[in-house]
Copies of this chain bind each other. A is one copy, B any other.
Amino acid sequence: MTTLNKKHYHHGDLTKSLLESASAIIKDHGVESLSMRKLADIVGVSRTAPYHHFKDKNALLCALAEEGFYEQGKILGRLRAEQNTAQESFKKYVNAYLEYALQHSEIYDLMYGRTLWKAGNPSDSLKAASKHTFKSWIEWVEELQHQKILPNNNTPLRIGQTTWASLHGLARLFIDGIYLDKADLSEMIEQMIENVCTHTKA
């Protein structure tokens, strides 16, 4: 087990294969149509093989969600690194956040949804990833407050909580199929930004 190379047995890297296939399945058919047995079958392995790589289904989903946090973090981090005005930067962030949420809606649901956080049992590393994401968001909120983009009438935590809640709410309405007409999305985003920012206020 000291070897790093994992090309053993008739399946190169089951852990990875499982995550990839699972990700594809939920992307195409939704998380409720993902079963451990079908997944094993698709990957070409017996029903219980996955259980040697993930404690249970919940653990597999946690791993997927965690991947989501890293990917989302990369996207949003890259964006913040760009040289933009603070205002532009924030605008792009909001757009990118919603784009990610809608394009990876099933992963987003795992990251921030009931399945894992309430009905399920979020793993420690998932909780850590989520906490890290939130923390760095709050730090940026503080910057944005100094730059007068976000309001100063409350702590970074509160402002961060509420503006994130707003984005999240918008994302959810589309993801959950309550709002369907995505043509309206960009206008809603625009309006949401106006609600949440300081300087655009009437």
Contacts and interface: CB of A to CB of B under 8 A. Distances in A.
Interface of A: 30, 32, 109, 112-114, 117-119, 130, 151-154, 158-159, 161-173, 175-179, 184, 187-188, 191-192, 194-196, 198, 201-202
Given A158-B191, A165-B166, 16 more contacts: A30-B118, A113-B176, A118-B176, A151-B194, A151-B195, A152-B202, A153-B191, A161-B179, A165-B169, A165-B170, A165-B173, A166-B166, A168-B173, A172-B172, A195-B196, A201-B201
Given A161-B188, A194-B151, A168 B179 contact: no
B195 A119 contact: no
A172 B161 CA distance: 12
Chief secondary structure at chain A's binding surface:
helix
Nearest to A32: B119
Nearest to A176: B114
Contacts of A168: 169, 172-173
A114 B170 CA distance: 14
B202 A153 contact: yes
Contacts of A196: 195
14 contacts: A109-B114, A153-B191, A158-B184, A158-B187, A158-B188, A159-B191, A162-B170, A162-B192, A165-B166, A165-B170, A165-B188, A165-B192, A166-B170, A169-B171
